[in-house]
Structure 1
Amino acid sequence: MATTKWAIDPTHSEIGFKVKHMMFTNVSGKFQEFHAIAETEEDLFDKATFEFSTKTASLTTGNPDRDLHLSSGDFFDAEKYPNINFISTSYTKVSEGEYKLTGDLTLRGTTKEVTLDVEFHGTALDPWGNKKAGFGITGKINRKDWGLNWNSALEAGGVLVGEEVKLHIELQFVKQ
């Protein structure tokens, strides 16, 4: 079988996350600069491999002061660690259109295995004849596993920033 390469369509993709703030609300953010590729056998995604990277400095939460703090050494340390990388190690079918994507996530110089839930939306031709494939990916990680330890205790109890990070990713690939 021939290998097919797929490149990310960044205008139709989004890499987002949510973290608890003050233990009762969520702060959302996203990365604006990212790159991803997938490889399949023919056009079949049942045994796909994925690679992803994003520029940590491209993070935005809609608040410039918060973004600056998140890029600092307290969190992502974007100057020292300019990229977040993910390389898949397995892609396993759970049921029709649902998969588990396992791989190595490297953040702040630390690599840990993560498993994410994938909803494969299918493939279609766009109006210009390009074959596209769509995915919805969700998961949770503990930011402290990658050394993002900064926090501040609240006077009423609890902490300012939650440890659990919820990932919400929409990817659209274009067949090369």
Structure 2
Amino acid sequence: MATWAIDPLHSEIQFRVKHLVISNVTGSFQKFEGKVEADKEDFSDASIAFSADIDSIFTGNEQRDGHLKSGDFFDAAQHPKLSFQSTSFKKVSGDEFTLEGDLSIKGVTKPVKLEVEFGGTTKDLYGNTKAGFEIKGKISRKAFGLTWDAVTEAGGAVVSDEIRLILNVQVAKQA
């Protein structure tokens, strides 16, 4: 069985949420780790584990980042990490996969289903074997206990419930 570790220097873990129902705010996690274990070269039997440090959340606005880390949202003091453990990684066709697993945020664990595009494998300049993946999906923030809400004067939501996940991940084969 081959073990692969996320290369944090060549990976991005992002999320997007509608703000005022008219535009998106993008955020990311700056500190994360994960590993992939697979027997097959195409990863079709892979087991995937991932975690991100809530305190590393970054949206480009210090006040918003602080609010996201507070008890209104992630509650980083009580729940310092979010985590994911795969239950299934199945090839749909070609380089397209479906990734299913358990996502844990703020002490709540729910099953999620994500779309994965396998970018292939290659050797880097130092002879290390790398593989790349783009992962997309949607989750309900409220299902994970991130229930803070506010309403505009016109009655619209300040922050939507749907969160879009966009992960571009490069993994390095471990010796």
C-alpha offsets along residues 41-81 of structure 1, whole Å, 9 cap, x if unaligned?
05341111100000011000000000000000000000000
2:121 counterpart residue number: 123
What is the alpha-carbon distance in structure 2 between the residues aligned to residue 17 and residue 124 of structure 1?
27
Q: Which amino acid aligns with 1:153?
A: V
1:135 counterpart residue number: 133
Q: Give the structure-1-normalised TM-score.
A: 0.97
2:99 counterpart residue number: 101
Q: Give the structure-2-normalised TM-score.
A: 0.98
- 1:130-169 paired onto structure 2 within 5 Å: 130-169=128-167
Q: Verify: 1:24 aligned to 2:29, yes or no.
A: no
What is the alpha-carbon distance in structure 1 between the residues aligned to residue 146 and residue 108 of structure 2?
11
What is the total number of aligned residue pairs between the two structures?
A: 174
2:59 counterpart residue number: 61
SS of the equivalent of 2:9 reads helix
2:3 counterpart residue number: 5
2:70 counterpart residue number: 72
Deviation at residue 157 of structure 1 after TM alignment: 1.8
Percent of matched pairs sharing the same residue: 51
C-alpha offsets along residues 63-104 of structure 1, whole Å, 9 cap, x if unaligned?
000000000000000000000000000001111000000000
Structure 2 residue ranges without an equivalent (≥5): none
- Asked if 2 retains the 8 angstrom alpha-carbon contact of 1:4 and 1:43, the reply is no
Structure 1 residue ranges without an equivalent (≥5): none
- Structure 1 stretches of 4+ with a deviation exceeding 6 A read none
